[in-house]
Amino acid sequence: MRKLVALILSLMMLYCILPAAAEGIDTSEHVKIVYLVTGDMPTNRTDEVLAKINELLTEKINAELEFRWIEWTDWQTQYNLALATQSGDIDLIGTATDWLDAWPNCQKGAFMPLSEDMLKTYAPKTWESVSEAHWNLCKYNGEIYLMPEDNYAQWTNHGFMYRRDWAKAAGLENGVHSWEDLGKYFQYIKDNMPDVVPWDANGNGSSYSPQMAGGWQASHTGNINIEGFPVSLFYGESKDNPYTLSRYYLEGDELVNFAKEMKAWADAGYWRADVLNYTGDVAVEMEEGKTGAHQHHTQTWTSERTVMERKQPGSDLGFFWFGEEQGNLISLNITHGAMAVAKKSLHPERALMVYDLMRNDPEIYHLMQYGFEGDMYTLDENNRFSRPEGFEDSTDGVSFNFWWGRNDNLEYKNAELDWDAIDAMYAAYDQVKIDYPYGQYIYDNSNVGVYMDNLSNVYNTYMPRIVFGMNDDPEALVAEFRQQLQDAGIETVMAEIQSQLDAVYKK
């Protein structure tokens, strides 16, 4: 009897020594959670920081984190291949509905459905911090598949960075706030600075087509871009009538006006004649004062402004955002970054627990995002962080590429950035922005996929020529483009999308 009591006691003691986790969860087995993430293998102090984090994770939930990097070489294939051929070798997957095809991958069975019970039990803090409305945006066929990065302020709306000092000289006292202003700005540079290309675009990158065409559209119509299509041809009519598809690309004068204006800009020499095959680096050229503009998004502007102030003192880099004329601005979709659990994960519960800590535990979060305090960064009285003298990210920093659950409650702002300018910009955005209206709509490719591929080809064939004015007759080119869209079956596709939208929003 005494022996039995002793045995029970010692077993109980053993149990107590085991890591104390959330109550009632069995964490007796030490597991490795593999985290699939895009980015290059770090050459900085990431491993050191990871070791520390793993110490904490082992202590708290008896698990540790391991990276599986999808490096930028051929990353689209690699990423999809890793999802397609998973066999329990990955657990957490960083994903996104816009740039990492979260929904198509979900439809193909890459992710595990996350029940409310699972989330409540294993990721309780995440479960609480995300509102019900936001969880609804992460559902496909009624099941939650994504944990969204919904508490992180960032703007990735596109526009043009320009130099305020040159804009002033061009007579634009308040800076550039419309395409018309932009034309004046470019013309001033063309007339007065022989060594500067107004906008030395590297048209070889395919991304300019949707940005520029969509940018003009945002500035001249109330149309709203619907995400998740392989080709950027589908827009909602306006914020008052968002669930009717716009026929902007099929009829009307605005696209023709755009084509004419860009043709005029091309003829005026705002970019080089062989723009479509030029591969230079616009950002660097702007930093060297060789070009006057750079087309990218707000987030890039926030850091580029600081760089420019250092390299081109007094440049006072401004940002003209597409849609500014009309106040046509949509908030970033909350699934621009999200974490999913791999369908074949062997330890989904523990994976959720790890994610919950990554996202919500201050110590782990700060280690992950900034490294060791004191050694790798210091905080000032406003809780803004600065790096020590001579710090270089590629050797001294830490890279977790955690773009799938950043949390403003725990973020430190970078003291180096110009927060007055940034906050002013964000405040201006806040006045006009509307929420992304299509969060619940997930495009289903199965009926019209064939047409979609051909539309994609037509768009990628004609749009670069329209955007960079590479044609003799813009009106004729737009007409030809529209005819080709018709031939490729755009009416069928639009009818299908409209009926899919109706099914979600017109109940």
Partner 1 sequence: MQKAVPQKVVNYRKPSVGRTILQNRTLILMCLPAILFFLVFSYLPMPGAYIAFTNFQYDKGIFASPFVGLKNFQFLFSSGQLGLLLKNTVLYNLAFILVGNFLQLTFAILLNEIACKGYKKTAQSLMFLPYFISDVLVSLLVYNLINYDYGFISNLVRSVGSEMPKVYQNANAWPFIIVLVHLWKSTGYGTVVYFAAITGMDSSMMEAAQIDGANAWQRICHITLPTLKPTVIILFLFAIGGILKGNFGLFYNLVGNNSMLFKTTDIIETYVYRSMMNSFNFSQSSAVGLFQSVVGFFIVLGANAFVKHLDPDYALF
Partner 2 sequence: MTVKARIPDHIMRTSRIKKDKTQITINIVTYILVTIFCIMCILPFWMIIASSFASEDSIRRTGFTLWPTEVSTYSYELLFRSPDQMLGAYAVTIGLTLVGTLIGLFIVSMTGYALQRRDFPYRNGIMFYIYFTSLFSAGLVPFYLLIVQYLNLRDSYFAILLPLLMSPWLIVLMKNFVKAIPHEITESGKIDGAGDFRIFYSLVLPNLKPALATIGLFLALSYWNEWYYSSLFLTTKVTYRPLQYHLYNVINKVASLKNSVAGSNVVIKDLPGETLKMATAVIATGPIILLYPFVQKYFVAGLTVGAVKG
Q: Decide: is 397 part of the binding site for partner 2 (CB under 8 A).
A: yes
What is the C-alpha to C-alpha distance for residues 392 and 369, in angstroms, rounded to an integer?
Answer: 15
> From the list partner 1, partner 2, none, which binds 277 (C-beta under 5 to 8 Å, kind-based)?
partner 1
Q: Decide: is 72 part of the binding site for partner 2 (CB under 8 A).
A: yes
With tokens 């009818």, the residue in question is 495
Taking CB under 8 A as the criterion, the residue among 119, 123, 224, 470 binding partner 1 is 470
What is the C-alpha to C-alpha distance for residues 54 and 288, in angstroms, rounded to an integer?
Answer: 43
Minimum distance of partner 2 from residue 391's CB (angstroms): 10
Region near partner 2 per CB under 8 A, out of 253-261, 268-276, 293-301, 454-462: 293-301
Taking CB under 8 A as the criterion, the residue among 453, 473, 491, 502 binding partner 1 is 453
∠ Cα 176 182 187 (to 5°): 125
Minimum distance of partner 2 from residue 376's CB (angstroms): 13
∠ Cα 341 346 349 (to 5°): 60
Minimum distance of partner 1 from residue 438's CB (angstroms): 17
> From the list partner 1, partner 2, none, which binds 47 (C-beta under 5 to 8 Å, kind-based)?
none
Instruction: List Cα–Cα distances, 222 to 215, 216, 443, 498, in angstroms.
Output: 11, 11, 22, 18
Give the interface size with partner 1 as a residue count (CB under 8 A).
Answer: 45
Classify the C-alpha dihedral 194-195-196-200 as positive or negative.
Answer: positive
What is the C-alpha to C-alpha distance for residues 173 and 202, in angstroms, rounded to an integer?
Answer: 29
What is the C-alpha to C-alpha distance for residues 334 and 97, in angstroms, rounded to an integer?
Answer: 9
> From the list partner 2, partner 1, none, which binds 230 (C-beta under 5 to 8 Å, kind-based)?
partner 1
> From the list partner 2, partner 1, none, which binds 344 (C-beta under 5 to 8 Å, kind-based)?
partner 1
Region near partner 2 per CB under 8 A, out of 70-78, 122-130, 344-352, 486-494: 70-78
What is the C-alpha to C-alpha distance for residues 233 and 462, in angstroms, rounded to an integer?
Answer: 12
Instruction: Give alpha helix (H) positions in 130-245.
Output: 132-136, 164-169, 179-192, 208-220
Q: Decide: is 74 part of the binding site for partner 1 (CB under 8 A).
A: no
By the 8 A CB rule, do 341 and 351 touch? yes
Burial of 381 (0-12, 13-18, 19+ CB in 10 A): exposed
Q: Would you state the structure tokens that stand for residue 217, as one six-digit string?
A: 């559209």
Taking CB under 8 A as the criterion, the residue among 71, 180, 487, 502 binding partner 1 is 487
What is the C-alpha to C-alpha distance for residues 238 and 219, in angstroms, rounded to an integer?
Answer: 12
Taking CB under 8 A as the criterion, the residue among 281, 375, 423, 475 binding partner 2 is 281
Minimum distance of partner 2 from residue 281's CB (angstroms): 5
Q: Would you state the structure tokens that stand for residue 193, as one six-digit string?
A: 């600075």
Taking CB under 8 A as the criterion, the residue among 41, 133, 264, 273 binding partner 1 is 273
Taking CB under 8 A as the criterion, the residue among 178, 445, 498, 500 binding partner 1 is 445
Q: What is the DSSP letter of 22?
A: S
Q: Decide: is 202 part of the binding site for partner 2 (CB under 8 A).
A: no
- Contact residues for partner 2 (CB under 8 A)? 38-41, 43, 67-69, 71-74, 77-78, 81, 84-85, 87, 99, 154, 156, 280-281, 283-285, 288, 290, 297, 299-300, 302-303, 306-307, 337, 392-395, 397, 401, 403, 414, 416-417
- Contact residues for partner 1 (CB under 8 A)? 76-77, 80, 83-86, 101, 104-105, 108-110, 203-204, 206, 229-231, 272-274, 276-279, 343-344, 445-446, 449-450, 452-454, 456-457, 460-462, 464-465, 470, 487-488
